[in-house]
Amino acid sequence: MTAVLAKIQSNQQLTPQADKDIFSIELVPLNETHAFDYQPGDWALVSGLNPDSLVEKVLALLKIDSKAEVELKRFGNLPAGKALVESLEITQLNPAILNKLQRQFQIGLDRWSDRAAMMDYAQGKDVVDLLEDIPEIQRLGADFLQLLSPLAPRYYSIASANTHDVASSLSPLRLLYRRVEYQSSGRTRLGVVSNWLANQPAGKVLTIDIKSNPTFKLPAGKDSPIIMIASGTGLAPFLGFMEQRVANQATDNWLFFGETDPEKTCLHCEKLNAWKNKGFLNVDFAFSRVEPKAYVQDVLKQNADKVWESWQQGALVYLCGSQDKMAVAVQALWQEWFAEKLNLTETEAENYWQQMRREKRIQMDVY
Ligand SMILES: Cc1cc2nc3c(=O)[nH]c(=O)nc-3n(C[C@H](O)[C@H](O)[C@H](O)COP(=O)(O)OP(=O)(O)OC[C@H]3O[C@@H](n4cnc5c(N)ncnc54)[C@H](O)[C@@H]3O)c2cc1C
Ligand SMILES: NC(=O)c1ccc[n+]([C@@H]2O[C@H](COP(=O)([O-])OP(=O)(O)OC[C@H]3O[C@@H](n4cnc5c(N)ncnc54)[C@H](OP(=O)(O)O)[C@@H]3O)[C@@H](O)[C@H]2O)c1
């Protein structure tokens, strides 16, 4: 993993009319020492600062003054407010905290009988949920901060390719990200990194870590066909794939892209259509909130014969987007095809899917 300093060139909202905010951010290396070294399919890891509103709530519940100095094992002495803004995970509840509460403070012994129960409880909750749910914990005050995990960077698929021969080291790196905001138990929840990133202006310098993803890679040659299946921000790595394929003059590229609305959330559709018009990309869209409503797996199904033909010609298949929703449905469809076309039982078809994954004919980057 390589840490580099990157300057924001632009940070643009792509979906001003939609009920979700998706951004395209373009970063350039601060200077040649910080040149970006990546392949399409790799990730950028980005850190952020916790939302002030949530930090204030945690401080109030624990009755700690923001400026009061606390000593944290990993971070040394620092003001409590600063620790909560910069260093500690509070938007997500790590089940390990529940275990520590039981072991160190005998709190919640009757609530969670095992790790599964802790995971189940922590699912979708933040630290304020815990403090409000079990007021006994509030009495721990600053001791509670010791239990929190360090604030982790978040993964983002790189949505560009390092394709320019001249000064390639200084070419921009793009990300496609959704600002996480949702309501739960009467409170607005803001994702830490996506909200922080959405508020950063052009010119701001950030540290990013570039992490290679060897299990999500284009074929070496330009002749193998590729089939890319994306929902939502899962489009990101395929923008990088396409830049690389165009640079390599590889034309057998088929994208299935699912979003909600052709007018409001057709992410980078101008770019996709331009590649299509130049003969580089076959693209099929699935829009879930306009008639005829469809998800990517429905559109794949409508193209079953041609997709299977491409598979038989050696196409590599890539999936990116939601793990629980899109990826589950697309896997089920491919297994149906394997069963039907290769005359396999359900179990054999599932094993064949796993085998194809091991052989990297099918590659997934789902989250
Ligand atoms: C391999 C990988 C690649 C990824 N690539 C991308 C990418 O290219 N673009 C991108 O936008 N994201 C991507 N993500 C997701 C990204 O890493 C973050 O998880 C996401 O941006 C939310 O982070 P956050 O800090 O803003 O929110 P957090 O503070 O982590 O979120 C707080 C809580 O919100 C919940 N939550 C998150 N989203 C929602 C939602 N929509 N509705 C309800 N609850 C929600 C979480 O489960 C969590 O409990 C990727 C993740 C992985 C693992
Ligand atoms: N942790 C959480 O609680 C949580 C909750 C929501 C989203 N997320 C994650 O946030 C990430 C970013 O969200 P995003 O807006 O980029 O993408 P997204 O929420 O996955 O939405 C993109 C498209 O996928 C569609 N979709 C929904 N269910 C589907 C299914 N079963 N099969 C195929 N397509 C389906 C959506 O349709 P509709 O929206 O019209 O159904 C939409 O058109 C995703 O990884 C998502 O999993 C996390």
Who lines ligand 2 at CB under 6 A? Answer: 20, 124, 178, 231-233, 258-260, 288-289, 295-297, 321-322, 325-326, 329, 367
Q: Which residues pair with 80 in a beta bridge?
A: none
Class level of CATH domain 52-147: mainly alpha
**Phi, psi (5° rounding) for residue 305?**
-60, -45
- Residue 192 Cβ < 6 Å to ligand 1: yes
Q: What is the pLDDT of residue 178?
A: 98
Tell me how far the alpha carbon of residue 232 lies from the centroid of ligand 2, in angstroms: 7
Locate the domains of the chain by residue range: 2-45+153-211, 52-147, 226-366
Q: Per-residue pLDDT for 334 more than 70?
A: yes
* pLDDT value at 328 more than 60: yes
Q: Exposed, middle or buried by CB within 10 Å (0-12, 13-18, 19+), for 199?
A: exposed
Nearest CA to 179 among 10, 324, 289, 19? 19
Chain segment 262-288, per-residue pLDDT in tens: 999 999 999 999 999 999 999 999 999
Q: What is the best residue among 125, 322, 367 to mutate for testing ligand 2's pocket, by most ligand atoms within 8 Å of CB?
A: 322
Atom of ligand 1 nearest to the CA of 175: 8
User: Is the CATH number of domain 2-45+153-211 2.40.30.10?
Assistant: yes
Please report, for residues 25, 79, 153, 209, 292, the alpha-carbon distance to residue 234 in angstroms, rounded to integers and kept in the order given.
Answer: 15, 39, 19, 20, 22
Phi, psi of 103 (to 5 degrees): -70, -45
Q: Take atom 19 of ligand 2 and give the residue whose Cα is closest.
A: 232
In CATH terms, the fold of domain 226-366 is Rossmann fold (3.40.50)
Determine the Cα–Cα distance for residues 367 and 365; give it in Å rounded to an integer.
7
Residue 164 confidence (pLDDT) above 70: no
The residue whose CA is least distant from atom 40 of ligand 2 is 288
Beta carbon of 47 within 6 Å of any ligand 1 atom = no
Take atom 14 of ligand 2 and give the residue whose Cα is closest: 232
pLDDT tens profile 131-143: 999 999 999 999 9
Six token digits for residue 323: 């793990």
For the segment 291-295, the average pLDDT, to the nearest whole number, is 98
